[in-house]
Structure 1
Amino acid sequence: MKNIAAGRAIARLRSWFPDREFFMRSEGQVRFIKISSRTQMIAAGAATAFVLVWALSMATMALSSYLSAHDRASLLHREAKVATAESRVNAYRDDLGKVKDDLNRRQDFIEKTVQAHMGDLPKDGKAGETVSDSTSEAAATVKKVSLELPEAAALAAIEARQLTFIEGLTRIADRRAAAAEAKLASLGVNPQMALAAMDDRAAQGGPLIPMATAADGSIDPRFQRFGLSLARMEALERSVAGLPQVLPASLEYISSGFGFRANPFTGGGGEFHPGLDFKGPYGAPIYAAAPGVVSFVGQRSGYGNCVEIDHGNGLVTRYAHMSGFRTVQGKPVIAGEVIGLIGSTGRSTGPHLHFEVRINDRPVNPRPFLEAAPHVFEKVGSAPASNSAR
């Protein structure tokens, strides 16, 4: 089979290159030149080999030129990248002053905004305060950075401003918390009940979103202390906001005060009156004295139609002798919201509102609570007290 295939290939080549004869005429003579098939094939092979060698050499030269050009381009690219990085570093160093100025302007904005809403922040501590004072430490840090890394001195100074600012915020939060705590204590409300709510982790949840002041996830103790001080201030001030500070009825006059009084029905003997009586027309509105949740709507012995509002921390206000209800049990109310109408139900000699403040189910004088609202009792001082309504 191989011999047959080879024979066929040779026959085909010979068909491409048949014996050829050429004649030439010169000076009246004719010459014949014969080129055999074998000679033509040898010549064709030599020509093909020459073309292949030439093409291969040209391809090699082209590839070498390409690789050389690629290497030069790569080198130039790397040089350009190095030059660009160095120029950016130099530009950043040259522009560090602008970065410092921008940070200072932002800090100025923050401090002025806080000052507008909270007043001047205290820079010096008071006796008994436990807020840290980083002034000396920050000054030493700025000095050391200035010596060892002069270009970062401005950033160290801004960091010192931040620490002074956060410590000032912590001091004012602590002082506001102390003022709220003193106010609660002066009214007989235990501040620890408000603070206990901070440690109550029942009914809490949500996604975990850690807060940190460093890239490694840690938090500076001064910032952590600030967060705790804010939480304490908020809990105490929220309790103060829940104190009765709104008149529960339009003030005509107080017809009976808190404490000892004569029997309103007989005029003799004596009895303890656990609240304040606000005389008013039948059907006049009665208002919630503070925000809270309505805990009772109904009748109580001696009180007639009665509404009670729970303000948290053991504090409850009671509104009695109503002619009608305008709220329901379990409803959250805001200070000044209408909850009922003045009447004379229960043990009463005429239309009025009996208003009580109770702490842990013990009645206390409502007047100090209401006096916390500015000018709330201006009319009371000029109005004569009466025992006409109890």
Structure 2
Amino acid sequence: MNSAASGSLSRLRAWFPDREFFMRSQGQVRFIKITGKVQMIAASAVIGALVAWGLSMAVMGWLQYRAAADRLSLLEREAQVANAEERVGAYRDDIGAVADDLKRRQTFIEEMVDSLPADAREGETVTDSTSEASKTVSKVSAAIPEAAALARIEARQLAFVERLTRYADRRAERSAKAIRQLGLDPNAMVRAAGRGAMGGPLERLSTARDGSIDPRFERLGLSLARMEALDRSLAGIPQYRPANVEMLTSSYGVRRDPFTGAAAMHSGLDFRGPIGAPIYAAAKGRVSFVGQRSGYGNVIEISHGNGMVTRYAHMSHFASRVGQEVAPGDVIGAIGSTGRSTGPHLHFEVRINGRAVNPRPFLEAAPHVLKEARRVQGEPARG
């Protein structure tokens, strides 16, 4: 050990000398000795706990800072929305440019949505933006009468956009609530949806000739994208019983292996049924695999997006092909006893990002949760 390290150790021992304490109880005196080593271990534990606490608080502070920064960024973008006086100036400077921009906005709206959903008018409120649009109509009509019709068109467009944005936010929150009830993280599913295979030419969105986009239109696009991602996530959650049989011969979890007798992990549910009995798709998705896998025999796998896959094993024959789109309840094959099997049955798995999870909560809870979500959102119930 070098002299510097030796000196540091000596100073450390000087801070934690052996200490003796005495306790008097019922006329007896007892001495307790706490060595410097014990004191140093205790101090290290306290310092470690403080460091861990400090790190956790730093992480929480950073997350709160990022959330606040994101909110501030949105507020700053919305603050850039032109007020009534600025819009009057734009109309006065070049009515033709305004008309062209409104045409671009209309095209933007028509490409984004074919028609306003029936329940999009529920819970309407007057916002600062729509109130500003009303002021614009009044001021433009008074200052530039020939532009009054354009101002009214602009106000209707903005009202439409904001109404649809609120509708998309409400629907997305309902879907997120249903997903949380099933023990899944809606934000993680949205992020997973954004990591899927994508491509194509870059076509920047704009609502003006200079290539910029009104913050209200940008927010509409983001709200609709989140709503669509959560809708797809809901549709891809296993919700339909994959076999029309009541006998469940083996559950998810540790069991005694039927061949070796030793404890082993069983990654799915086993439904016993006769050879040739139909097997159904548990949720909407695309068939991603048809063939054989070791131990599973004849297998079909369906990808439901967001990293979720259902697997159907030991089949006697296939009734679907790779790339085929399926809906909940579609027949995809038949029960068999291929692979590592002691008799005819369906082995059913649910996998999220390659990891097997218990399918039972989905099959038991999802039909009721999703039925309620669709009822609230005005869709026909399925299954």
Under TM normalisation by the shorter chain, which class is it?
0.5 to 0.7
Kindly indicate whether residue 217 of structure 2 is the aligned counterpart of residue 223 of structure 1. yes
Q: Which residue of 1 aligns with 2:302?
A: 309
| Matched-pair contact (CA < 8 Å) for 1:189–1:359 | no
Name the amino acid aligned to 1:141.
T
Q: Which residue of 1 aligns with 2:116?
A: 114
Shift, 1:115, TM fit:
4.5
Shift, 1:356, TM fit:
0.5
Name the amino acid aligned to 2:332.
I
Give the whole-Å Cα distance in 1 for the aligned partners of 2:355 and 2:169.
30
DSSP 3-state at the match of 2:348: strand
Shift, 1:214, TM fit:
4.0
Give the whole-Å Cα distance in 2 for the aligned partners of 1:271 and 1:250.
27
Shift, 1:168, TM fit:
1.7
| Matched-pair contact (CA < 8 Å) for 1:323–1:340 | yes
Superimposed CA distance per residue, residues 202-230 of structure 1 (whole angstroms, 9 cap, x where no aligned partner): 53238x5x654445554322122212221
| Matched-pair contact (CA < 8 Å) for 1:279–1:351 | yes
DSSP 3-state at the match of 1:170: helix
Q: Where does the alignment leave 5 or more consecutive residues of structure 1 unmatched?
A: 1-110, 126-131, 378-390
Q: 1:254 to 1:194 in 2, by over 3 A?
A: same
Name the amino acid aligned to 1:142.
V
Q: Give the alignment partner of residue 280 of structure 1, picking from 269, 273, 282.
A: 273
Give the whole-Å Cα distance in 1 for the aligned partners of 2:288 and 2:196.
23
CA RMSD of superposed structures (Å): 3.9
Kindly indicate whether residue 226 of structure 2 is the aligned counterpart of residue 232 of structure 1. yes
Kindly indicate whether residue 188 of structure 2 is the aligned counterpart of residue 188 of structure 1. no
Q: TM-score, normalised by structure 1?
A: 0.54
DSSP 3-state at the match of 1:114: coil
Q: Which residue of 2 aligns with 1:163?
A: 158
Shift, 1:324, TM fit:
2.5
Q: 1:133 to 1:173 in 2, by over 3 A?
A: farther
Name the amino acid aligned to 2:319.
R
Give the whole-Å Cα distance in 1 for the aligned partners of 2:198 and 2:217.
26
Kindly indicate whether residue 341 of structure 2 is the aligned counterpart of residue 341 of structure 1. no
Give the whole-Å Cα distance in 1 for the aligned partners of 2:298 and 2:262.
26
Kindly indicate whether residue 137 of structure 2 is the aligned counterpart of residue 142 of structure 1. yes
Q: Which residue of 2 aligns with 1:27?
A: none
Once the two structures are aligned, what percentage of the paired residues are identical?
Answer: 56
Q: Where does the alignment leave 5 or more consecutive residues of structure 2 unmatched?
A: 1-112, 372-383
Superimposed CA distance per residue, residues 274-306 of structure 1 (whole angstroms, 9 cap, x where no aligned partner): 2222222211122232312323520322x3332
Q: TM-score, normalised by structure 2?
A: 0.55
Name the amino acid aligned to 1:332.
Q
Name the amino acid aligned to 1:114.
L
Q: Which residue of 1 aligns with 2:169?
A: 174
Q: Which residue of 2 aligns with 1:251?
A: 245
Give the whole-Å Cα distance in 1 for the aligned partners of 2:362 and 2:265.
19
| Matched-pair contact (CA < 8 Å) for 2:192–2:307 | no
Name the amino acid aligned to 2:234.
V
* Aligned pairs, number: 256
Q: Which residue of 1 aligns with 2:106?
A: none
Name the amino acid aligned to 2:164.
L
Q: 1:239 to 1:272 in 2, by over 3 A?
A: same
| Matched-pair contact (CA < 8 Å) for 1:293–1:332 | yes
Give the whole-Å Cα distance in 1 for the aligned partners of 2:331 and 2:128.
49
Q: 1:139 to 1:376 in 2, by over 3 A?
A: closer
Q: Which residue of 2 aligns with 1:107?
A: none
| Matched-pair contact (CA < 8 Å) for 1:304–1:346 | yes
Shift, 1:314, TM fit:
2.0
| Matched-pair contact (CA < 8 Å) for 1:324–1:341 | yes
